[in-house]
């Protein structure tokens, strides 16, 4: 038997590599005699279909530790008493589920009493602000991702939790952190059908959770059970119906509408063409039992999702595939080995408005002429012979060409589709973890977890053959034979092939590797080869929006190896101690090459190996009148960097003063250490009321890109920005107090107030290393403070009610010196004065209202005497935000930061479903899913507006002010029209639209958010409707 156990453990380890948070809960209660009220000792309390159980002590008390979240049947067995089973017992991570039994003396042999467990509405041991969402609630709601479900939590505004910056939230999957360590972002896609529970904590974090400031999102996936179960769900809005999806108001037309004088925003878009397939399967693992006659229980659960969307606008797409699996082996009671795996692959291209024109020719003709490249004017099959060509058919041989010969037929055509030249992004994340749990006794157990998490991102621009890659005004030759095999490259590989792509990093163009090795093309960009970095990765192309995007190539890979051991002991029935030790080792590689305007070249090629660790102690004491969670945590971080200048005011030797790249007197950076105490108190002062309070200090290492960005002090580009490996952790001190009141058995009110004092945020500072030259260094001088309160009214489903749901209101004020680490850097670049006072932060939104309502008719209920409406449901999500701030233009060098407000946003999403029983436990459902039911035009997040669109705050402020003044009667209609009716017959603004005054207000002035270029991407999604089928068993 021991050999078999070793073999199975070894096979699991082969698939694993060497953060983490709790993934289990506790059941505790008391067993008494229903007849006498006396406690019963020796009663066996068993969680059905699991190895978990316990026996009651002399006081009738029992507890069952380390139970995975989910819904169970729990039974109590004792000789002389009828077996009592409580159904639908819900266990949640990190919490105690109270479950008491009253046993009835047995009258008949084998008598069993079955009741539905009475789940308490107030979770008395919860001292933090936490929202727990079950798998059933997630699948019923109109949410597409984990982030969609998380954003329904009070206090969450997009990716900002209670006024904190982006990157201050940790995402955990079965206890393993899923964050890109360089950017602090969550890039994984977890199949929703794999989830058992999502827990979102926005305040009062226990000592077990470190390296956070604003939030914890803990996802626990399902485990396989004693029987097979699973499902399949498919949805689409690609039904061939012209106007079913009102993306911003109208169906898709053509790109040529962009050049029409009457072009309005609504004309340039298309149906989403979404296809989404989700599946899951779980149960007892069927193979090893027969092959190895393995002992114990071996269960599995796997789930996947395939998603393909053409997105809102032409030229963009988003393709994703996600997988999650869990294998659980229980060789005998008290021992558990679990292997988990997750993988996400995503390929995407996003709309950029300056690529709106159909052809290269259309954009170029009115601005410049292009010289004929000498090779291009030669005969394609005999390069020594020059061919005279008359491109414009005027009878004369031409020296210039107005367009491109894209299909190589000797005619300059106009089929250059600019959308094909947007950047392409490839994302990949994967995680493997192995967890060993050993129960030492009924009171104690320990858990060892090792994991490997990888995140990879590749960014590329598709450079095609025969373009003006170097911006010299000449088309690059179509007659190129880079590998010298006697065949023009465009003939061999196709004119759409990217000849500058080397995905496998072997130094050869991928497209050529189908040939013999001697014909492989070495990876280099001939037209722009004079720029290269130390690793011989050549830059490419020309930074000209008329051809394709800003030239940039990026390839990074980050691997985090983690190990953690936790020990939990229930010292008494009222006190539980938990302690743990964790360690992370990171292997980070980032190769980025960026050609900016003005010939400035930025980028880096680094590989670094930082590490960090922590130890914590958490004490949980549960009494009838008070619950106390107290703990402390010690963290350390080692940047493992040994090339830091001894004097940041004199960082490079004199001979490298202009270009940098060499460190003067390099030193090693010391590790950072910090302590963080935590305490949470809950006081149930009546059977329907509870007060709770929490205090904590939280530390977080800044995103590692702030440490290692341009860490070799490369000064070759203008305005160099340098990371700081010696930067200190960011710090938050948080207080919160709350009150819960239970109105009825099903309705709960929760009100919480909070305050956060945030210091040491990442900022920048100019460092002069000569009298006239400076660079910008990351430092810890920024600060912020947040205050607010949240009110939530919650109603759960009950036997006599068809309605359940919640509605919450959040009020918050978030102020600080800056919203982003780049604010000072950008103000210096523009020559403005850096503010020294607090301003509203970009995500400061005063009022937020969210609701998730579920109307459901049970399968056994008849409506109007018929069962046609049975097992039918409607789930609705409502979200309202009062508007985030933006900065108006300033007439002085002192900028106005976030003094104005954008319009409010509002969306209503819903799903309608009808389910049929196909016999036994097999069900089929049909559903309709509608996003943005009212088709409202909501502005995107301010950060997105600034970085990814043609957002123009001066345009918006000016024309909004004119509109308000006109509506208030301050200016006349004549003056209003003269300002708002554009005259641009010669296209002086270069937007491709020739305009004459027509006596009507221009669309982009009446709707100034779209800016002078009339950019449709400033708006979030319009209404989309999808239909779907679901099968489950």
Span 230-237+272-350+425-459+552-948: which CATH code? 2.40.170.20
C-alpha to C-alpha distance for 3 and 571, rounded to whole angstroms: 35
The beta strand positions in 536-651, using DSSP E, are 552-570, 575-595, 601-608, 611-622, 627-638, 644-645
Comparing 624 with 509, the larger pLDDT belongs to 624
C-alpha to C-alpha distance for 396 and 9, rounded to whole angstroms: 81
Query: Of all residues in the chain, what percent carry a pLDDT higher than 90?
Result: 52
Res 502: pLDDT = 61
Say yes or no to pLDDT of 9 above 50. no
Res 503: pLDDT = 60
Say yes or no to pLDDT of 579 above 90. yes
C-alpha to C-alpha distance for 346 and 188, rounded to whole angstroms: 9
Span 19-116: which CATH code? 2.60.40.1120
Nearest CA to 928 out of 1004, 1000, 1030 is that of 1030
Res 849: pLDDT = 98
Mean pLDDT of 566-590: 94
Cβ atoms of 644 and 726 within 8 Å: the answer is: yes
Say yes or no to pLDDT of 610 above 90. yes
Mean pLDDT of 655-661: 79
Res 344: pLDDT = 95
Res 173: pLDDT = 95
Say yes or no to pLDDT of 613 above 90. yes
Say yes or no to pLDDT of 453 above 70. yes
Residues 6+ apart with CB under 8 A from 420: 315, 462, 464, 496
Mean pLDDT of 468-483: 47
What are the residue ranges spanned by the domains of the chain? 19-116, 143-220, 230-237+272-350+425-459+552-948, 953-1014
Mean pLDDT of the chain: 81
C-alpha to C-alpha distance for 129 and 684, rounded to whole angstroms: 16
Least reliable range by pLDDT among 289-303, 724-738, 810-824, 829-843 = 289-303
- Residue 239's alpha-carbon distances to 242, 244, 927, in angstroms, are 9, 8, 15
Predicted confidence band of residue 303 (pLDDT cuts 50, 70, 90): very high
Q: Read off the pLDDT of residues 751-785 as tens digits, 9 standing for 90 and up.
A: 999 999 999 999 999 999 988 889 999 999 999 99
Comparing 157 with 293, the larger pLDDT belongs to 157
Say yes or no to pLDDT of 746 above 80. yes
Comparing 170 with 717, the larger pLDDT belongs to 170
Res 909: pLDDT = 97
Res 980: pLDDT = 85
Question: How many CB atoms are closer than 10 A to CB 286?
Answer: 11
C-alpha to C-alpha distance for 987 and 112, rounded to whole angstroms: 85
Cβ atoms of 1004 and 962 within 8 Å: the answer is: no
Residues 6+ apart with CB under 8 A from 618: 206, 207, 208, 577, 578, 579, 629, 630, 631
Least reliable range by pLDDT among 461-465, 617-621, 645-649, 1029-1033 = 461-465
Comparing 500 with 639, the larger pLDDT belongs to 639
Say yes or no to pLDDT of 410 above 50. no
Comparing 239 with 159, the larger pLDDT belongs to 159
Least reliable range by pLDDT among 72-86, 508-522, 755-769, 925-939 = 508-522
Res 519: pLDDT = 67
Least reliable range by pLDDT among 382-391, 663-672, 942-951 = 382-391
Q: Read off the pLDDT of residues 183-210 as tens digits, 9 standing for 90 and up.
A: 999 989 999 999 999 999 999 999 999 9
Say yes or no to pLDDT of 368 above 50. no
Mean pLDDT of 125-138: 93
C-alpha to C-alpha distance for 833 and 933, rounded to whole angstroms: 45
Q: What is the pTM of this model?
A: 0.83
Q: Read off the pLDDT of residues 47-57 as tens digits, 9 standing for 90 and up.
A: 998 889 999 99
Say yes or no to pLDDT of 528 above 80. no
Say yes or no to pLDDT of 324 above 70. yes
Res 106: pLDDT = 80
Predicted confidence band of residue 482 (pLDDT cuts 50, 70, 90): low
Res 389: pLDDT = 47
Q: Which CATH architecture has domain 143-220?
A: Beta Complex (2.170)
Res 335: pLDDT = 92
Say yes or no to pLDDT of 529 above 50. no
Predicted confidence band of residue 384 (pLDDT cuts 50, 70, 90): very low
C-alpha to C-alpha distance for 1021 and 1033, rounded to whole angstroms: 34
Res 22: pLDDT = 73
Mean pLDDT of 963-992: 76
Least reliable range by pLDDT among 6-20, 204-218, 306-320, 886-900 = 6-20
C-alpha to C-alpha distance for 828 and 825, rounded to whole angstroms: 5
Comparing 419 with 683, the larger pLDDT belongs to 683
Res 994: pLDDT = 53
Comparing 2 with 552, the larger pLDDT belongs to 552
Least reliable range by pLDDT among 787-791, 915-919, 972-976 = 972-976
Burial class of residue 817 in the structure, from the number of CB atoms within 10 Å of its CB (0-12 exposed, 13-18 middle, 19+ buried): buried
Pairing of strands 721-722, 774-795: parallel
Say yes or no to pLDDT of 695 above 90. yes
Say yes or no to pLDDT of 670 above 80. yes
């Amino acid at each position: 038997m021991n050999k078999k156990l070793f073999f199975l453990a070894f096979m699991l380890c082969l698939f694993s590599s060497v953060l983490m948070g709790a993934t289990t809960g506790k059941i505790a209660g008391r067993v008494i005699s229903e007849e006498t009220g006396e406690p019963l000792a020796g009663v066996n309390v068993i969680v059905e279909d699991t190895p978990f159980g316990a026996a009651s002590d002399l006081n009738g008390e029992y507890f069952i530790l380390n139970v995975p979240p989910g819904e169970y049947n729990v039974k109590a067995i004792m000789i002389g008493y009828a077996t009592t089973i409580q159904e639908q017992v819900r266990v949640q991570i990190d919490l105690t589920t109270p479950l008491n039994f009253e046993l009835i003396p047995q009258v008949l042999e084998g008598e069993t009493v079955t009741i539905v467990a009475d789940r308490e509405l107030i979770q008395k041991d919860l001292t933090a602000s936490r929202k727990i969402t079950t798998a059933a609630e997630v699948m019923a709601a109109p949410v597409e991702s984990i982030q969609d479900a998380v954003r329904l939590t009070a206090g969450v505004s997009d990716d900002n939790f209670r006024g904190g910056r982006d990157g201050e939230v940790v995402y955990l999957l079965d206890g393993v952190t899923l964050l890109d360590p360089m950017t602090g972002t969550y890039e994984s896609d977890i199949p929703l059908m794999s989830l058992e529970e999502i827990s979102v904590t926005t305040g009062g974090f226990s000592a077990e959770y470190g390296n956070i400031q604003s939030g914890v999102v803990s996802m626990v996936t399902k485990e396989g059970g004693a029987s097979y179960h699973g499902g399949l769900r498919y949805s689409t809005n690609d039904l061939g119906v012209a106007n079913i999806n009102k993306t911003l108001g109208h169906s898709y037309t053509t790109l040529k509408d962009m050049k029409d004088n009457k072009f309005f925003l609504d004309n340039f878009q298309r149906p989403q063409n979404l296809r989404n397939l989700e599946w899951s399967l779980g149960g007892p693992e069927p193979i090893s039992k027969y092959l190895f006659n393995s002992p114990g229980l071996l269960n599995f659960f796997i789930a996947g999702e395939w998603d393909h969307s053409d997105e809102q606008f032409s030229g963009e797409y988003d393709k994703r595939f996600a997988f999650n699996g869990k294998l659980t082996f229980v060789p005998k009671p008290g021992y558990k080995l679990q292997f988990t795996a997750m993988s996400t692959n995503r390929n995407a291209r996003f709309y950029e408005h300056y690529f709106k024109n159909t052809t290269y020719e259309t954009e170029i003709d009115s601005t410049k002429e292009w010289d004929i490249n000498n090779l291009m004017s030669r005969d394609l099959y005999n390069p020594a012979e020059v061919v005279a060509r008359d491109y414009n058919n005027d009878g004369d041989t031409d020296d210039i060409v107005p367009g491109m010969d894209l299909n190589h037929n000797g005619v300059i055509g106009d089929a250059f589709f600019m959308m094909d030249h947007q950047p392409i992004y490839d994302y990949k994340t994967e995680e493997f973890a192995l967890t060993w749990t050993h129960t030492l006794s009924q009171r104690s157990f320990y858990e060892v977890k090792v994991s490997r998490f990888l995140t990879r991102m590749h960014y590329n621009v598709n450079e095609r053959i025969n373009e003006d890659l170097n911006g010299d005004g000449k088309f690059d030759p179509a007659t190129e034979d880079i590998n010298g095999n006697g065949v023009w490259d465009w003939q061999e590989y196709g004119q759409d092939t990217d000849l500058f792509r080397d995905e496998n990093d072997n130094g050869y163009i991928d497209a050529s590797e189908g040939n013999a090795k001697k014909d492989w093309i070495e990876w280099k960009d001939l037209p722009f080869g004079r720029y290269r970095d130390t690793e011989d990765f050549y830059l490419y192309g020309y930074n000209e929006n008329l051809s394709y995007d800003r030239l940039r190539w990026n390839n990074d890979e980050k691997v985090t190896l983690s190990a953690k051991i936790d020990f939990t002991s229930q010292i008494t029935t009222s006190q539980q101690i938990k302690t743990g030790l964790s360690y992370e080792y990171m292997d980070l590689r980032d190769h980025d090459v960026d050609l900016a305007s003005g010939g400035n070249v930025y980028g880096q090629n680094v590989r670094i190996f930082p590490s960090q660790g922590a130890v914590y102690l958490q004490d949980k004491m549960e009494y009838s009148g008070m619950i106390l969670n107290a703990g402390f945590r010690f963290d350390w971080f080692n940047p493992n960097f040994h090339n830091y200048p001894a004097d940041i005011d004199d960082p490079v030797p004199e001979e490298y003063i202009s270009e940098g790249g060499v460190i003067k007197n390099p030193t090693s950076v010391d590790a950072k250490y910090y302590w963080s105490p935590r305490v949470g108190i809950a006081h149930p002062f009546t059977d329907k009321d509870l007060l709770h309070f929490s205090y904590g200090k939280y530390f977080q290492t800044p995103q590692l890109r702030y440490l290692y960005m341009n860490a070799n002090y490369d000064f070759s580009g203008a305005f160099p920005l340098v990371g700081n490996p010696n930067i200190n952790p960011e710090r938050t001190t948080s207080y919160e107090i709350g009150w819960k009141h239970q109105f009825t058995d099903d309705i709960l009110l929760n009100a919480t107030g909070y305050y956060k004092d945030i210091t040491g945020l990442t900022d920048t500072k100019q460092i002069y290393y000569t009298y006239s030259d400076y660079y910008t260094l990351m430092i810890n001088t920024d600060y912020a403070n947040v205050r607010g309160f949240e009110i939530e009214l919650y109603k759960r489903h009950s036997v006599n009610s068809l309605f359940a749901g919640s509605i919450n209101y959040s009020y918050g004020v978030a102020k600080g010196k800056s919203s982003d680490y780049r604010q000072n850097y950008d103000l210096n670049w523009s020559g403005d004065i850096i503010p020294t006072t607090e301003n509203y932060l970009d995500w400061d939104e005063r009022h937020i209202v969210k609701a998730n309502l579920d109307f459901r008719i049970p399968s056994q209920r008849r409506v109007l005497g018929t069962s046609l409406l049975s097992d039918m449901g409607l789930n609705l999500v409502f979200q309202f935000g009062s508007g985030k701030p933006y900065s108006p233009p300033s007439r002085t060098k002192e900028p106005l930061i976030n003094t104005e407000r954008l319009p409010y946003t509002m969306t209503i999403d819903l799903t309608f479903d009808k389910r049929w029983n196909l016999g036994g436990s097999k069900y089929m459902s049909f559903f309709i899913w509608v996003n943005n039911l009212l088709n409202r035009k909501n502005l995107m997040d301010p950060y997105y507006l600034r970085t990814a669109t043609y957002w123009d705050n001066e345009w918006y402020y000016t024309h909004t002010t004119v509109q308000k003044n006109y509506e208030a009667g301050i200016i006349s209609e004549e003056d209003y029209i003269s300002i708002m009716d554009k005259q641009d017959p010669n296209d002086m603004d270069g937007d491709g639209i020739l305009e004459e005054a027509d006596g009507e207000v221009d669309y982009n002035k009446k709707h100034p958010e779209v800016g002078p270029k009339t950019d449709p991407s400033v708006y979030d999604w319009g209404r989309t409707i999808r239909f779907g089928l679901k099968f489950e068993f």
